[in-house]
């Protein structure tokens, strides 16, 4: 029997939550900010605030369309095209990001490839050696990162976790 789109969405959201919560536990004693690439309607940003209280969370978004309660203050928001905002973030946060969540892209493989080509080169320069990258889509070019095992509750292929490879 085919899986409905609703069931796929529920599975993806459950995987997102499981990966973010595992990532939060893995960086609990690790200093550094959290990056949220893609705000959308603000669900994952709001969840990150709940599971990482007191942690600086910086959000990158082209334009705000989130619920008003789920919009970061101006000091924690990089507004504009990610090709312009990520280079500025590298200057400020190089090698310090503890957790990077990239919820960008979607069902369009060509769009995902373009987004990945834009952001993947910045990830090794942003994420600290012990940090975690959590992504909603497969990004080609993450060779300096080791794909890690998924937590319980995350169906393979629905969400992805990576750690920087030891140098």
pLDDT reported for residue 147: 79
Domain limits, the chain: 5-164
For the cut 60, the answer to whether the pLDDT of residue 7 exceeds it is yes
Contact by Cβ (8 Å): 158, 12: yes
pLDDT of residue 167: 44
Question: What is the tens place of the pLDDT at every residue in 22-69?
Answer: 999 999 999 999 999 999 999 999 999 999 999 999 999 999 999 999
- Domain range 5-164, CATH architecture: 3-Layer(aba) Sandwich (3.40)
Rounded to an integer, the average pLDDT of 19-24 is 96
Q: Say if residue 89's pLDDT is above 80.
A: yes
If one compares 155 and 23, the residue with the highest pLDDT of the two is: 23
Mean pLDDT of 73-97: 96
Q: What are the C-alpha distances in Å from 148 to residues 57, 67, 69, 76, 114?
A: 23, 32, 33, 28, 24
Structure confidence at residue 157 (pLDDT) = 84
Q: Which residue has the higher pLDDT, 116 or 10?
A: 10
Q: Which residue has the higher pLDDT, 129 or 149?
A: 129
Which pLDDT does position 166 carry in this prediction?
60
Contact 34, 101 (CB under 8 A): yes
Mean pLDDT, all residues of the chain: 90
Whole-angstrom distance, CA of residue 147 vs CA of residue 144: 10
60 vs 29: CA distance, rounded Å:
24
């Amino acid at each position: 029997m085919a899986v409905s789109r609703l069931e796929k969405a529920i599975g993806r959201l459950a995987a997102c939550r499981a990966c973010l919560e595992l990532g939060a536990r893995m960086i609990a004693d690790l200093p550094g900010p959290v990056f949220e690439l893609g705000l959308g309607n603000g669900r994952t940003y709001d969840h990150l605030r709940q599971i990482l209280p007191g942690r600086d969370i910086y959000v990158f978004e082209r334009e705000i369309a989130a619920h008003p309660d789920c919009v970061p203050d101006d000091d924690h928001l990089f507004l504009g095209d990610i090709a312009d905002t990520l280079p500025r973030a590298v200057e400020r946060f190089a090698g310090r990001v503890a957790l990077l969540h990239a919820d960008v892209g979607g069902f369009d493989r060509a769009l995902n490839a373009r987004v990945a080509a834009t952001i993947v080169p910045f990830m090794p320069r942003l994420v600290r050696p012990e940090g975690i990258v959590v992504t909603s889509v497969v990004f080609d070019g993450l060779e300096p990162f080791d794909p890690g095992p998924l937590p319980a509750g995350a169906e393979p292929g629905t969400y992805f976790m990576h750690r920087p490879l030891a140098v």
